[in-house]
Amino acid sequence: MAEEAETVRVAERGPNAWVQITSAFVVVAALMAGLWKLQQIERVEQSAPAAPTGPISCSAATPTGMPTMVRAGVKYVSANQLCQALNRPDLATLLGTPGEKALSYGGGDESVALGGADIPAPEMNVTLTTYSVQLSASFDHFAVKDMADLVGGDARERTFLGRPAVLYSDRTYAFLFGLRPDDARTSSAPGHPTRRLVVARDPKDGGGSYDIAIWRQDSTPPDDAVLLRLAQRILPTLPGWTGS
């Protein structure tokens, strides 16, 4: 009989192709070592978690201030600030599921090792009954306009809120761990189909990006109209966002 296992779903980070590839290995290594903090992952339980009595709390998303590796003159956005942008009373309405409550959240001020440097990549995830939403930022020097060809697949360049952007499909991944203390085996498998919108941090596309992604708990491919509506309302609320 197959041994019981716990399933943890982690959404791949997608601010740009270089960070996405590198972060996949970083996430796996952290999980294997047991160092990935509980608030940074979405745990998929056998039964749906009970909704909290009040709004989600952003206090556990560590606001560490501007990391030393952020370039001078760049406005850093912390995981706590990403959480505040998602923690809005009309989030479920924007997703087309009015009345739903946030069930859980997770994220932190992480970084990704890339080319010998640590690239800040803060991230926040919010899970509702129907959807999960991931909002992240990358402070690398790569232009979003160069991303579509590298991502491939159905990636499409577009202009969003006056900035270069790329819309494409992705997937979450499920990591399976043995429950017994002496069972160190782990495996992974594709999870929910995801739609992502990557938007340049500034209108001139001088490097860095914001990434907003959604996926459904029933694994139905999410609607682009939902993602774009959500991004249009949330991204302009981020600190340092300026018009075109």
Cα–Cα distance, 172 to 113 (Å, whole number)? 21
**What sign for the dihedral angle of Cα 166, 171, 172, 178?**
negative
pTM for the full predicted model: 0.72
Domain parsing of the chain, residue ranges: 5-45+56-237
Q: What is the mean pLDDT of the chain?
A: 74
Lowest mean pLDDT among 9-13, 42-46, 71-75, 97-101: 42-46
In this structure, of 5-14, 63-72, 106-115, 177-186, the range with the lowest mean pLDDT score is 5-14
Q: What is the pLDDT of residues 89-127, one digit of tens each?
A: 999 999 999 999 999 888 888 888 777 778 888 999 999
Q: How far apart are CA 15 and CA 211, in angstroms?
A: 5
pLDDT in tens, 55-93: 556 765 444 555 666 666 678 888 889 999 999 999 999
- Angle (CA) 15 20 23, round 5°: 115
